[in-house]
Protein backbone atom coordinates (compact mmCIF):
# COMPACT_ATOMS: atom_id res chain seq x y z
CA UNK A 1 0.00 0.00 0.00
CA UNK A 2 1.23 3.45 -0.81
CA UNK A 3 -0.16 6.78 0.20
CA UNK A 4 -0.22 8.36 -3.29
CA UNK A 5 -0.54 11.94 -2.06
CA UNK A 6 -1.45 13.44 -5.43
CA UNK A 7 -4.31 10.97 -5.83
CA UNK A 8 -5.57 11.54 -2.27
CA UNK A 9 -5.49 15.34 -2.59
CA UNK A 10 -7.41 15.11 -5.87
CA UNK A 11 -9.92 12.78 -4.18
CA UNK A 12 -10.62 15.34 -1.45
CA UNK A 13 -10.79 18.36 -3.75
CA UNK A 14 -13.03 16.58 -6.27
CA UNK A 15 -15.44 15.45 -3.55
CA UNK A 16 -15.80 18.97 -2.10
CA UNK A 17 -15.17 21.44 -4.95
CA UNK A 18 -16.95 24.35 -3.27
CA UNK A 19 -14.59 24.37 -0.28
CA UNK A 20 -11.09 25.76 0.18
CA UNK A 21 -8.53 23.90 2.26
CA UNK A 22 -5.25 24.71 3.94
CA UNK A 23 -2.41 22.22 3.57
CA UNK A 24 -2.79 21.22 7.22
CA UNK A 25 -6.49 20.43 6.69
CA UNK A 26 -5.71 18.29 3.65
CA UNK A 27 -3.02 16.41 5.56
CA UNK A 28 -5.35 15.82 8.49
CA UNK A 29 -8.10 14.54 6.18
CA UNK A 30 -5.68 12.15 4.47
CA UNK A 31 -4.50 10.78 7.83
CA UNK A 32 -8.09 10.32 8.99
CA UNK A 33 -9.34 8.71 5.78
CA UNK A 34 -6.27 6.56 5.08
CA UNK A 35 -4.74 5.71 8.47
CA UNK A 36 -2.95 2.54 7.34
CA UNK A 37 -1.15 4.30 4.49
CA UNK A 38 -0.25 7.23 6.75
CA UNK A 39 1.15 4.86 9.39
CA UNK A 40 3.15 3.05 6.71
CA UNK A 41 4.61 6.36 5.48
CA UNK A 42 5.53 7.34 9.04
CA UNK A 43 7.22 3.97 9.63
CA UNK A 44 9.23 4.19 6.40
CA UNK A 45 10.34 7.81 6.89
CA UNK A 46 13.82 8.58 8.10
CA UNK A 47 12.96 12.15 9.09
CA UNK A 48 9.43 11.85 10.54
CA UNK A 49 9.19 10.61 14.11
CA UNK A 50 5.54 11.12 15.08
CA UNK A 51 2.03 11.55 13.66
CA UNK A 52 2.10 15.35 14.10
CA UNK A 53 5.06 15.68 11.73
CA UNK A 54 3.30 13.63 9.08
The pLDDT of residue 1: 67
Domain spans in the chain, listed from the N-terminal domain onward: 5-53
The pLDDT of residue 14: 98
Closest to 8 (Cα-Cα) out of 21, 26, 22, 25: 26
Longest dimension (CA), the chain: 36
pTM over 0.85: no
Q: Mean pLDDT of successive 10-residue segments in the chain (54 residues)?
A: 88 97 95 91 82 70
Q: Are 32 and 38 in contact (CB under 8 A)?
A: no
Amino acid sequence: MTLELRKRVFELLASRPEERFKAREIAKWICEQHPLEAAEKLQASASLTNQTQL
